[in-house]
Amino acid sequence: MNLRAKKLFGGLLIFVIIAACHIEYAAGRARGEGKTKSSPVLYWEDAAAPKIHVSDDLLARGDQLYHMQCALCHGASGEGNGSASLFLGVKPRDFTSEGFKFRTTSSGALPTDEDLFRTVTVGFPAYGMPGFHYLSEEDRWAIVHYIKTFKKDFKDAGSPEVVDLGKEPKVTKELITEGREIFKQAGCHACHGVTGRGDGPSSATLKDSQGQPVLALDLTWGGIYFKGGDRPRDMMRSFSTGLTGTPMPSYLDSGFTKEQLWALAYFLKSLSSDIHKELE
């Protein structure tokens, strides 16, 4: 089964998983559990809630929720080897050894607790991971704290520093044109292709840190196919932090200025939207 076929099959499998999760949640509501919940959140960065600090009771709740909601894909020990992982085109995260792709922190750094909360809340539904926005905020924080127990690095990590993205500029035609040049200079076309369709000369050979094949994103898709969001700000964050464990580096570490990366973000947005027409 090739990678794209696995993704399609995995999508069907996750639909079943999500349905099962909702049934369990409904049962919990009937038992008086999870009395508060938030509305679905589209953008990763927007999934925020006041932090609930770890406690023994919260960890115990996280243990219960993790094995009920997450272990099917991520495995009972967090190694990304759950029974459903065989059918997913995108391998579930191994919490014990792999880095975390979606963060507000610098390249290679651990995510903040808030970053993990965002991922648990929003998920990446186009790639097999449902969002758990239907759980109470307390339950989602419980999962976050339990996930951290799988990776020893979290124990003495402290609070990672959040990357400063600078001030978002006003979009202009000139900014988008500059972004097109940065796209070339940064070598984005090697993976994403000249037209941004994920068909660059290196795309067939891309692998993650675990040696698993990965697909270069088709930048013309937009929407939920951008895991961290498809707004210019979301893309700027990915350029700045890099996607740890993948071939996608931090371009702040590659000598580009924040102003140049904002231009690149708006150019990429133009590939999947009518932003050009809006400027006419």
At 25 the pLDDT is: 43
At 277 the pLDDT is: 67
Residue owning tokens 């499998």: 13
How far apart, in whole angstroms, are the C-alpha atoms of residue 92 and residue 251? 26
Rg (CA), the chain: 19
Please give the class, per CATH, of domain 173-278: mainly alpha
How far apart, in whole angstroms, are the C-alpha atoms of residue 256 and residue 138? 40
Residue owning tokens 């009920």: 68
Average the pLDDT over each of 20-29, 148-157, 202-211 and give the range with the smallest value. 20-29
Average the pLDDT over each of 90-94, 100-104, 170-174 and give the range with the smallest value. 90-94
pLDDT digits (tens, 9 = 90+) for 8-59: 455 455 545 444 444 444 444 444 444 445 555 479 999 989 999 999 999 9
How far apart, in whole angstroms, are the C-alpha atoms of residue 151 and residue 169? 38
Nearest of 268, 23, 234 to residue 122 by alpha carbon: 234
pLDDT digits (tens, 9 = 90+) for 106-134: 999 999 999 999 999 999 998 999 999 99
How far apart, in whole angstroms, are the C-alpha atoms of residue 230 and residue 41? 14
What number of other Cβ atoms are within 10 A of residue 124's Cβ?
19
pTM of the model: 0.84
- Check whether 145 has a pLDDT greater than 60: yes
User: Does residue 129 sit in helix, strand or coil?
Assistant: strand
- Check whether 207 has a pLDDT greater than 50: yes
Q: Where are the domains of the chain?
A: 3-154, 173-278
Say if residues 183 and 155 touch (Cβ distance below 8 Å): no
